[in-house]
């Protein structure tokens, strides 16, 4: 479920404070499967949140676009099966043309997610969540002073249930997310944050449709197009901005590498083409008997 | 910033256990979508991880949904093999599920054909 967000990080967040109790809570429970539902494996999308509540670590996510470079960290921990809390921090380095350079850590974000519905036969998952950007926790130069709540719904759907006549479309899958961003300061504009991904799984093509003779490396590549959009709800305050991000995701057994171009959808969204890249760890696979399991519940 | 990250990784590392992961299908014989001139004697699948034999399995069915395995499915290490009855020409479906030794479950299905 880890993706980048429109939030910045904080230096106040203490990683040891999080990691120590998590590591200590080795309660036996089933390993939470990241991105697997039915025959389908969904890689973790990097520009938008995917709908899985799992044990994952994105370190780092590097984004360079429109005179700004961000380095983000996100860690998602499953509390019980299907429910996880993600925390994110990041560093911003911005140098708009004609303006002084500004850099520092952004606000802390905390994002609980709950998988509400899974249908393995139809490769479908529906998740709800809320993202809290904690205002004032980041550097004043780059972070908002007010907090923002964003209730969000997310879904994923694989097209593996298409008929034989459309079998080469079966490797396709889509994910989507829609959130309503509500700043706690009454004078700030609310917005709808929406996005998603269209992905074509070579692994699904190879294993479920037709053996293409791909090497093991190539079979784990997923071409993807993500889009991330923000639409202001008040007329005359910015309209819609966003980016379309085509790229590739390679999913290994324990880690995932991803890189995408960042293309603005309009002038207001930025100038030029940027990039985003991420190194992602599947904690549930790396530590299946300890940190990769939910803290509470389940049976071994 | 670097210090907390290093410490977190140390905690993760010392608290960890031997790694294993989802068992993804790496090779299938016959492969997905294959069209064969001669009927195969067995279906053989190999996976990226060692399997829990009790919780893993494969079923091969004909176009009418009837099982066509000739005997017990053999599962060992990271592979499973299903011996097949003599298959007449037609379409067949392979449906597998795999539980790796760390209890992660994966599953999949594909079809192959035997030519007349």
**CATH no. for residue B108?**
2.60.40.1220
Q: Do B48 and A282 touch (CB under 8 A)?
A: no
pLDDT over 90 (residue B52): yes
Report which of A9, A20, A22, A14 is spatially closest to residue A283, judged by C-alpha positions. Answer: A22
Q: How large a percentage of chain A has pLDDT more than 70?
A: 88
A94 lies in some domain: yes
The residue among A287, A298, A299 with the most chain B CBs within 10 A of its CB, best to mutate, is: A287
Q: Do B4 and A15 touch (CB under 8 A)?
A: yes
DSSP state of A46: S
Cβ neighbours of residue A215 under 8 Å, at least 6 residues apart?
Answer: none
Q: Which residues pair with A177 in a beta bridge?
A: A154, A195
Domain ranges, residue A84: 15-286
**What phi, psi does B13 have (nearest 5°)?**
-65, -45
Residue A289 touches chain B, beta carbons under 8 Å: yes
A25 to chain B, closest Cα gap in Å:
10
The number of folded domains in chain A is 1
pLDDT given at position B20: 61
B8 lies in some domain: no
Q: How confident is the model at residue A1 (pLDDT cuts 50, 70, 90)?
A: low
- Contact of A289 with B102, CB cutoff 8 Å: yes
Number of neighbouring beta carbons within 10 Å of residue A41:
24
A297 lies in some domain: no
CATH number at residue A30: 2.40.160.40
A56 lies in some domain: yes
pLDDT given at position B4: 52
Q: Do B4 and A14 touch (CB under 8 A)?
A: yes
State mean pLDDT over A120-139: 96
The widest CA-to-CA distance across chain B, in whole angstroms, is: 67
Q: How confident is the model at residue B55 (pLDDT cuts 50, 70, 90)?
A: very high
B15 lies in some domain: no
Per CB-CB distance under 8 Å, the chain B contacts of A289 are: 17, 102
Rounded Cα–Cα distance for residues A197 and A44 (Å): 10
Q: How confident is the model at residue A5 (pLDDT cuts 50, 70, 90)?
A: very low
B34 lies in some domain: yes
A6 lies in some domain: no
Specify the 3-state DSSP secondary structure of B2.
helix
B11 lies in some domain: no
Domain ranges, residue B50: 20-114
B108 to chain A, closest Cα gap in Å:
5
Rounded Cα–Cα distance for residues A172 and A158 (Å): 6
pLDDT in tens, A19-72: 333 333 333 334 445 799 999 999 999 999 999 999 999 999 999 999 999 999
Specify the 3-state DSSP secondary structure of A120.
coil
Rounded Cα–Cα distance for residues A49 and B101 (Å): 29
B80 lies in some domain: yes
The number of folded domains in chain B is 1
């Amino acid at each position: 479920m880890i993706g980048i967000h429109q939030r910045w990080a904080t230096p106040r967040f203490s990683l040891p404070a999080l990691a120590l109790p998590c590591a200590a809570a080795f309660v036996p429970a089933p390993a939470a499967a990241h991105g697997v539902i039915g025959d389908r494996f969904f890689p973790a999308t990097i520009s938008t949140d995917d709908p899985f509540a799992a044990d994952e670590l994105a370190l780092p996510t590097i984004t360079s676009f429109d005179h700004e470079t961000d380095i983000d960290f996100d860690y998602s921990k499953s509390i019980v099966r299907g429910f996880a809390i993600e925390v994110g921090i990041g560093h911003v380095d911005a140098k708009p043309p004609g303006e002084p350079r500004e850099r520092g850590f952004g606000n802390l974000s905390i994002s609980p997610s709950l998988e509400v519905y899974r249908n393995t036969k139809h490769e479908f998952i529906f998740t709800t969540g809320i993202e809290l950007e904690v205002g004032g926790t980041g550097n004043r130069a780059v972070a908002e002073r007010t907090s923002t709540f964003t209730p969000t719904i997310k879904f994923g759907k694989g097209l593996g249930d298409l008929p034989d006549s459309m079998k080469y479309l079966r490797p396709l899958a889509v994910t989507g997310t829609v959130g309503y961003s509500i700043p706690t300061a009454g004078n700030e504009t609310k917005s709808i944050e929406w996005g998603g991904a269209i992905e074509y799984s070579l692994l699904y093509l190879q294993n479920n449709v037709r053996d293409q003779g791909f090497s093991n490396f190539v079979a784990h590549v997923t071409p993807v197009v993500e889009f991330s959009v923000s639409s202001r709800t008040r007329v005359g305050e910015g309209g819609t901005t966003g980016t379309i991000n085509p790229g590739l995701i390679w999913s290994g057994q324990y880690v995932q590498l991803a890189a995408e171009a960042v293309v603005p959808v309009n002038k207001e969204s930025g100038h030029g083409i940027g990039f985003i890249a991420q190194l992602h760890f599947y904690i549930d696979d790396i530590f299946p008997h300890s940190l990769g399991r939910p803290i509470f519940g389940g049976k071994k | 910033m670097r210090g907390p990250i290093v410490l977190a990784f140390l905690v993760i590392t010392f608290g960890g256990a031997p790694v294993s992961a989802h068992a993804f299908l790496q090779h299938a014989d016959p492969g997905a979508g294959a069209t064969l001139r001669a009927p195969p004697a067995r279906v053989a699948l190999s996976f990226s991880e060692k399997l829990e034999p009790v919780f893993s399995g494969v079923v091969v069915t004909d176009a009418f949904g009837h099982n066509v395995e000739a005997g017990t499915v053999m599962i060992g290490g990271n592979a499973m093999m299903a011996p097949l009855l003599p298959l007449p020409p037609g379409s067949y479906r392979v449906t597998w599920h795999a539980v790796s030794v760390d209890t992660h479950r994966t599953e999949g299905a594909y079809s192959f054909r035997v030519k007349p």
